[in-house]
Amino acid sequence: MSFYDKQGSSAQISDGRRTWDEAEYERKAKERLAEAQTADSKKLGLLKKDEPPVKKKGLEYRDFQLDLDSKVGKAIVISKTTPAAESGGFYCDICDCVIKDSLNFLDHMNGKMHIKNLGMSMKVKRSTLEDVQDRFAYKKWEKEQERRQKEKEANSEDVALEQAKINDAKLSKQERKRKREKEEEVEEETEGLDPDIQAMMGISGFGTSKKK
């Protein structure tokens, strides 16, 4: 069997000339390229031998707020032994790197390398009707929780204000009682003294009179 006979459908004879199946050769070329890339990945330790590549999940939205303002205006002392997470700037524990400014940190958090290290691809999952309904239900529940929290805080403020008024009333009552007792005590001590002598001593009437 000749070489050309071994090629099967890849080579055909038409009008004395051989024609080649371009689609077939393109498919084989892609297979060889994929095999070569897989072999290179195994050599570099990026892919373990005889282990299929890990299927990454789709891109998901971030469910937390990035802290970009807490370090504004603060000064820290950095030494050679200072851990990377505390050496200033913004530390990414997923990629184990420090970014010096907030703009580049935000770019890093949305970048391909960080998302790859999270085990996600850049492909976004297409939302279904059920996903949209669940999202609306969650936002409605979240809004209701915020409303209840505000009502609770308002009620707490009202209770605190009412308690403060009660405390002030009790304090005023006690002060009036102490003042009245003091006046009665002074009146008893000065009882029987001549008014002129009381005036010389700087003692005046308190608007009360003790019955004998």
Identify the residue with better confidence: 198 or 100. Answer: 100
**Residues 15-24: pLDDT tens digits?**
556 566 677 7
Question: Residue 140 pLDDT > 90, yes or no?
Answer: yes
Cβ(48)–Cβ(42) below 8 Å: yes
What residue type is assigned to position 199 of the chain? Answer: A
Cβ(114)–Cβ(95) below 8 Å: yes
pLDDT of residue 141: 93
pTM, entire model: 0.37
Write a three-state SS string for the chain: CCHHHHCHHHEEEECCEEEECHHHHHHHHHHHHHHHHHHHHHHCCCCCCCCCCCCCEEECCCCCCCCCCCCCCCCCCCCCCCCHHHCCCEEECCCCEEECCHHHHHHHHCCHHHHHHCCEEEEECCCCHHHHHHHHHHHHHHHHHHHHHHHHHHHHHHHHHHHHHHHHHHHHHHHHHHHHHHHHHHHHHCCCCCHHHHHHCCCCCCCCCCCC
Span 56-64, mean pLDDT?
75
The position carrying tokens 């005046």 is 204
Nearest to 60 by CA among 106, 128, 120, 107: 120
Cβ(10)–Cβ(20) below 8 Å: yes
Cβ(122)–Cβ(112) below 8 Å: yes
Q: What's the distance, CA 16 to chain centroid?
A: 74
Identify the residue with better confidence: 164 or 59. Answer: 164
pLDDT of residue 76: 76
**Residues 156-182: pLDDT tens digits?**
888 888 888 888 888 888 888 888 888
Structure tokens at 195: 């008014």
Rounded Cα distance between 163 and 168, Å, is: 9
Q: Which of 28-42, 123-137, 146-160, 188-202 has the lowest mean pLDDT?
A: 188-202
